[in-house]
Amino acid sequence: MTAANHKLRNFKDALMQIVALLCAIIVVTPLVLIFYHLIKLGFSSINWAFFTQLPGPVGEPGGGMGNAIVGTFILLGQAAVIGVPVGVLGGVFLAEYGSPKSSGWIRFAADILNGVPSIVWGLVVYGLVVVPMHGFSALAGGVVLGLMMVPLVMRTTEEVLHLVPAGYREAALALGVSKWKTVLQIVVRTALKGIATGVLLAIARVAGETAPLLFTALGNNIWARSLTQPIAALPLQIFNYAMSPYDEWHRQAWAAALVLLLLVLFINIGVRFLTRDRWKAKI
């Protein structure tokens, strides 16, 4: 190996390190920029009116997104009612009762579901709920978000349960505790934090979904009165306002985007903070 060759190799090495660093910086930049712009453009519009008032007349200043915020929570509540029990119990089956073959097939099906584009889910629930009900509704919106949560929560629950050491199950069974009590009160209890994390992340994920709501919840400009009527939701409202020609609505859309982003990021950062011990090991 000659000195020149040595120098060239070292140069390439240093160059590649710089390139990798630059790429990492480029990758992070959009997040920083988005935050910056959302705060710059939206922060000033966040006021009491924003959270409590209904949208004003088209294009006129004033009004808020109170109904959209409430609507999002109503939809998420319904989604959790569907997604959490089915997802968690299904995950329990996969981890604790399923034979390798049957669990394999169920897991495969769940992974397929996780790959279905969200707008296709919207089409499906349109046919399933909106058509029979002869109209768009909050119920349809809750159903589509809930169904989307099921395979997500199922897989994360299963993964977390697998992490519980076999020794705990054995010890409980050796004490003469029946299997279902062992699973519920020992295994699930040990993994509870992880399961809750999975559920929260799934909720954060569906909270930001717009596409499936386009054909189910549709959106609304009044306070939600019943589950069988269309309902407003933050992402929907952002979309409609953003694509409108009115500056006033753009202003509010920035505020809404900031609120939605903060909500989603808050949940994401929050769960990471709560499970930081497990997280630390994964560098």
- Cα–Cα distance for residue pair 245/8, rounded to 1 Å: 57
Residue among 49, 173, 196, 200 that touches other proteins (CB under 8 A): 173
224 binds other proteins (CB under 8 A): no
- Nearest distance from C-beta of residue 30 to other proteins, angstroms: 5
Both tokens of 134, joined, read 């002869």
Residues 206 and 145 sit within 8 Å (Cβ to Cβ): yes
- Cα–Cα distance for residue pair 276/264, rounded to 1 Å: 18
Q: Which stretch binds other proteins (CB under 8 A): 61-69, 70-78, 224-232, 261-269?
A: 261-269
Binders of other proteins among residues 25 to 64 (CB under 8 A) are 26-28, 30-31, 33-34, 37-38
223 binds other proteins (CB under 8 A): no
Binders of other proteins among residues 127 to 146 (CB under 8 A) are 127-128
- Nearest distance from C-beta of residue 126 to other proteins, angstroms: 8
210 binds other proteins (CB under 8 A): yes
Q: Which stretch binds other proteins (CB under 8 A): 45-53, 58-66, 70-78, 248-256?
A: 248-256
- Cα–Cα distance for residue pair 232/65, rounded to 1 Å: 9
- Nearest distance from C-beta of residue 82 to other proteins, angstroms: 10
Both tokens of 196, joined, read 């809750």
Q: Which stretch binds other proteins (CB under 8 A): 48-56, 72-80, 189-197, 222-230?
A: 189-197
- Nearest distance from C-beta of residue 172 to other proteins, angstroms: 7
- Nearest distance from C-beta of residue 49 to other proteins, angstroms: 21
Binders of other proteins among residues 70 to 89 (CB under 8 A) are 85-87, 89
- Cα–Cα distance for residue pair 70/221, rounded to 1 Å: 12
Residue among 140, 172, 195, 199 that touches other proteins (CB under 8 A): 172
115 binds other proteins (CB under 8 A): yes
Nearer to other proteins, 75 or 150 (CB): 150
Residue among 74, 76, 79, 92 that touches other proteins (CB under 8 A): 92
Q: What is the largest CA-CA distance in the chain?
A: 80
